[in-house]
Amino acid sequence: MSDTVKYLLDEQHLPKTWYNLAADLPEPPPPVLHPGTGQPVGPDDLAPLFPMALIGQEVSTDREIEIPEPIREVYRQWRPSPLYRARRLEKALDTPARIFYKYEGVSPAGSHKPNTSVAQAFYNKEEGVSRLTTETGAGQWGSSLAYAGALFGLEVEVYMVKVSYNQKPYRRALMETYGAQCYASPSDRTESGKAILAQDPDSPGSLGIAISEAVELAAQRDDTKYSLGSVLNHVLLHQTVIGTEAIEQMAMADTYPDIVIGCAGGGSNFAGLAFPFLGRKLRGGEDVRIIAAEPSACPSLTRGTFAYDFGDTGHLTPLVKMYTLGSSFVPPGFHAGGLRYHGMSGMVSHIKELGLIEAQAHHQTPCFDAATQFARTEGIVPAPESSHAIRSVFDEAEACKRDGTAKTILFNLSGHGHFDMAAYTDYFAGNLEDRDYDEGALQAALAALPQVAAE
Amino acid sequence: MSDTVKYLLDEQHLPKTWYNLAADLPEPPPPVLHPGTGQPVGPDDLAPLFPMALIGQEVSTDREIEIPEPIREVYRQWRPSPLYRARRLEKALDTPARIFYKYEGVSPAGSHKPNTSVAQAFYNKEEGVSRLTTETGAGQWGSSLAYAGALFGLEVEVYMVKVSYNQKPYRRALMETYGAQCYASPSDRTESGKAILAQDPDSPGSLGIAISEAVELAAQRDDTKYSLGSVLNHVLLHQTVIGTEAIEQMAMADTYPDIVIGCAGGGSNFAGLAFPFLGRKLRGGEDVRIIAAEPSACPSLTRGTFAYDFGDTGHLTPLVKMYTLGSSFVPPGFHAGGLRYHGMSGMVSHIKELGLIEAQAHHQTPCFDAATQFARTEGIVPAPESSHAIRSVFDEAEACKRDGTAKTILFNLSGHGHFDMAAYTDYFAGNLEDRDYDEGALQAALAALPQVAAE
């Protein structure tokens, strides 16, 4: 029996289509609303921010959406990504569970994010856009869009949450190596940023604030559009190559997962792995438990409210019905910067509300306990975001040991931690804080949720 | 015509043997000498430092040496590694040259080094060793041995050249994540380190000094052996999986390289790619130009003397005939820490002396110019060491453009630069110094070369 087992698809198994969960839902998600009129938004409302091709994908109910060949060309550099069985980890945990992971850190930018950044850059370029603005938390998304911008000849301007900007100088260096401009958010380059700085000059920033800055700038210029790294339907759609490949790879391993796990901030890597499995289940296929793992300090799925809210702090975006902590909620600084978002993808929120998925919240220290043991057995150092998924895997594997059941667990190792080593240094030095969110701040943020007539 | 072209071998093409250049050399390299007796060293002289299996490989003249299955099991996680055609780079350079690269950054530790660290950990474990000491420059080697130690249950103690230890805190964090101990060298933990600190408390360290510290500690304890990341025949041997795979992959691309290029510090990634191609040539096969790319600040092959010298600064190692700048030579601090070695592998030196390979030296700035353009076209951010190979590739591709010749160039992208982003930050800020070595220091170091009767 081999210790390392890799399931590698050859290039002819690179997916030709993205999978759209909207085609298989028992009921459609609530509409996205215009904050002024309270009416569902149409393509024209979104046109200042996104190219028409992406707006079309955002509202499509087609099950399969063709991946244009120039995008597949770029995907081929690292896709199909490997799927591994973690036999050394199984032994270390002494669990009867069988643990598999899909590894997305093989992309040039080191995470799953290029699956959508490449697609977004392609469609923007096709429609004559020359410049993209975006936000980034830990920097996985910013560096991935910077990478895609370099390939397609687009200027990229990234607003990076200030606490991460200061924690992760090497992420910034990576974006600059790809030729992008990177600014700490809140910045004084936008009205949104200036408003926050006026209230709190020491604001650590948040994804919600950074989104406001990027959206504001994109809306001002015809040659500029906005690019989002998670949350929106078209972003989640592009990530489904992960799950589509994983289904084939699990078949190569002659098995099918009982449990599928992904970490969730905005929801994109979680959805990328889980949606194709959920779609099979909804079409009458194999049953599967699906778990979203999130941080206790920013627990939108486990402690948020399912309500219409803005996607950003500056209230420039449409209203989406989602699990939210309130768009004015600023989570404490912690190391999984990609999970510091006040809300959750509308689609992921919808399936949570329908009872199709579960959610678990974890503190930092148990996540890094698991990530370190993972590194010492499987060799790959996980991103702090991915460590949340690994914590859930450990918990489920330990439950299998207690119960004597041999479940098959599949999780998404969404990225490596090479640019997050300061987090590991803090962990080894005992400097991690296992903070919860501030309950008063949460209640204030929830009290400030917008009133929406449609609800 | 596709933009990204990846040549991926499936697992059944994972090499079953390492290739030993010693079998095909027109004349054997000069013997390694005992510094006390001036006589060739035997296995007993090396036994305190290395397990017998590795000593056997060090002196073997068998052409093929079988790779034990437990090592192949670990290799399978990332091997066979991909070989790419750099079409986007070719277009950007507007060159008729066809550029291919073998990418070794896909290993868990991010470079070619695990090819030998895994093998060394395996053989040491087999012979009952429980603890390994080693040196590291930029940290590629130290983190690779830490990784292998974690897999095989060996303690690992790493002496990291002080200038790199301070420049690259995340490399240290990586070693600690794998469970290794990492110390700045020169340290006060060894007599060798103390002697250097007594002379120069601010010594930036060097690979030669760090080797002395690690060797000294290994020689003191029966449960402890020493592990070297380059230079020795058995280390170069383990790296030949790179070239063996590349030959098959170039055949998949229906071509064969006119020019093979690798960066060279101690010589291991260079040899790993080049030796299997050189072996074919020596056995009457295809002709090929082979180029070693080294730093102008530590130019052993282009400015050193071919002479017997110590492998370390503290003069604890046997004497090897090699291109050397003198074992007391301490190169200036620069960002490619893995190339800051005073000498060169005896085997690589021997084939340079035989005229079988060429060498080119580069300053830092033109290397980072090339590495940045590579990142913006091919997406992968190269390690500073590898950037030297890329500089040579650019120079050869530009020569092809001038001459209108369509040469096929293959180089080893030995690792990624994720842990070296401070170097890119310095580059973008205009803070790189293109220092040459100090000529007086070189002359003094060469004057201090040991007198060897055999010469």
Scanning the structure block, which residue is given the tokens 């926050």?
A: A196
Nearest by CB to residue A108, choosing from B176, B379, B419, is: B379
Per-window interface: B 353-372 vs A, CB < 8 A: 372
Taking CB atoms and an 8 Å limit, are B110 and A84 in contact across chains? Answer: no
**SS3 assignment, position A39:** coil
Domain map (residue ranges) of chain B: 5-14+68-110+234-447
Taking CB atoms and an 8 Å limit, are A379 and B173 in contact across chains? Answer: no
Taking CB atoms and an 8 Å limit, are B418 and A376 in contact across chains? Answer: no
pLDDT tens digits along B381-432: 999 999 999 999 999 999 999 999 999 999 999 999 999 999 999 999 999 9
Interface test with A, best of B103, B171, B381 (most A CBs within 10 A): B381
Helix residue spans in B312-383 (DSSP H): 346-353, 364-378
Cβ atoms of residues B263 and B233 within 8 Å: no
Please report residues of B whose CB lies closer than 8 A to that of A106. 106
Instruction: Give yes or no for B110 touching A (CB within 8 A).
Output: yes
Neighbours of A200 (CB within 10 A): 10
Residue B66 burial by CB count (10 A; 0-12/13-18/19+): exposed, middle or buried?
exposed
CA distances from A82 to A10, A88, A336, A344, A452 (A): 10, 17, 24, 28, 45
pLDDT for res B4: 58
Instruction: Give yes or no for A379 touching B (CB within 8 A).
Output: yes
pLDDT for res A453: 59
User: Closest chain B residue to A378 measured between Cα atoms?
Assistant: B151
Decide if pLDDT at B187 tops 70: yes
Is cis: bond before A186, omega within 30 of 0? yes
CA A213 – CA A379 distance, rounded (Å): 38
pLDDT for res A3: 57
Question: Residues 6 or more apart from B203 whose CB is under 8 A from it?
Answer: B162, B186, B196, B197, B209, B330
CA A442 – CA B385 distance, rounded (Å): 49
Taking CB atoms and an 8 Å limit, are A424 and B150 in contact across chains? Answer: no
User: Closest chain B residue to A419 measured between Cα atoms?
Assistant: B418
Degrees, nearest 5: CA angle A226-A292-A184: 35
Taking CB atoms and an 8 Å limit, are A170 and B418 in contact across chains? Answer: yes
Tens-digit pLDDT string for chain A (455 aa): 455 589 999 889 999 999 999 999 999 999 999 998 999 999 999 999 999 999 999 999 999 999 999 999 999 999 999 999 999 999 999 999 999 999 999 999 999 999 999 999 999 999 999 999 999 988 999 999 999 999 999 999 999 999 889 988 899 999 999 999 999 999 999 999 999 999 999 999 988 899 999 999 999 999 999 999 999 999 999 999 999 999 999 999 999 999 999 999 999 999 999 999 999 999 999 999 999 999 999 999 999 999 999 999 889 999 999 999 999 998 887 888 889 899 999 999 999 999 999 999 999 999 999 999 999 999 999 999 999 999 999 999 999 999 999 999 999 999 999 999 999 999 999 999 888 888 999 999 999 999 885 54
pTM of the model: 0.96
User: Closest chain A residue to B83 measured between Cα atoms?
Assistant: A77
CA A67 – CA A119 distance, rounded (Å): 8
Residues B41-50, mean pLDDT to the nearest whole number: 94
Decide if pLDDT at B437 tops 90: no
Please report residues of A whose CB lies closer than 8 A to that of B375. 150, 177-178
**What kind of fold does domain A5-14+68-110+234-447 have according to CATH?**
Rossmann fold (3.40.50)
Instruction: Give yes or no for A170 touching B (CB within 8 A).
Output: yes
Taking CB atoms and an 8 Å limit, are B150 and A376 in contact across chains? Answer: yes
Residues B330-346, mean pLDDT to the nearest whole number: 88
Degrees, nearest 5: CA angle B166-A164-A431: 65
Please report residues of B whose CB lies closer than 8 A to that of A74. 3-4
ipTM for the predicted complex: 0.95
Taking CB atoms and an 8 Å limit, are A375 and B177 in contact across chains? Answer: yes
Taking CB atoms and an 8 Å limit, are B150 and A74 in contact across chains? Answer: no
Per-window interface: B 389-418 vs A, CB < 8 A: 416, 418
CA A183 – CA A18 distance, rounded (Å): 33
CA A375 – CA A291 distance, rounded (Å): 22
**SS3 assignment, position B399:** helix
User: Closest chain B residue to A180 measured between Cα atoms?
Assistant: B376
Please report residues of A whose CB lies closer than 8 A to that of B110. 418
